[in-house]
Amino acid sequence: MQAESGCGIQDPSRRRLRLVYDGECPICRRYVRWQRMRKEVGELELIDARQDSEARQQLTAMGIDLDQGFALQIGKRWYHGSEALHRLTLLGTRSGVFNRLMYRLFASPERTARLYPLLRACRNGLLKMLRKGRIDNLRH
């Protein structure tokens, strides 16, 4: 997916912020619980990728594999995987140890792209240990 300039921040009355994440993954659940958005950014709608939703249907139609990473919608634009993590980091606060650490790790798109495969591998390994199946949103 192409990057756009800035974070995609626009007038809050027109902006839509949605995060589609794996609700069965303990790491993912904790991350979305601890992540805090800046007030001027607005509210982030959290959507479990394992539940049927309009967002999941839209991402599936776009061919976005939710087993390969979460997806973030800013306005009308969707970001996936490392791009989503990077943009979410830029929209977050810098308050609290967790949010400061996330900013230090993922404010750079290059570093985020290098680290994301490791994060995905940890998630996949944990889900396997917990005997949780794949999201499989692209299965036909």
Q: What is the pTM of this model?
A: 0.84
Q: Assess whether pLDDT exceeds 60 at residue 4.
A: no
Amino acid letter, residue 103: Y
Distance of CA 36 to the CA centre of its chain: 13
> What pLDDT digit, counting tens, does each position of 51-71 carry?
999 999 999 999 999 999 999
What is the distance between the alpha carbons of residues 63 and 137, in angstroms, rounded to a whole number? 9
User: How do the domains of the chain map onto residue ranges?
Assistant: 17-129
Q: How far apart are the C-alpha atoms of 103 and 48, rounded to whole Å?
A: 24
CA atoms of 78 and 4, how far apart (whole Å): 11
pLDDT confidence of residue 39: 80
Q: For 66-89, what is the mean pLDDT?
A: 96
pLDDT band at 140 (very low <50, low <70, confident <90, very high): low
Is the CA virtual torsion 102, 73, 65, 21 positive or negative?
positive
In this predicted model, what pLDDT tens digit does every residue of 32-56 receive, in sequence order?
888 888 888 888 999 999 999 999 9
State which H helix or E strand residue 85 sits in.
helix 82-91
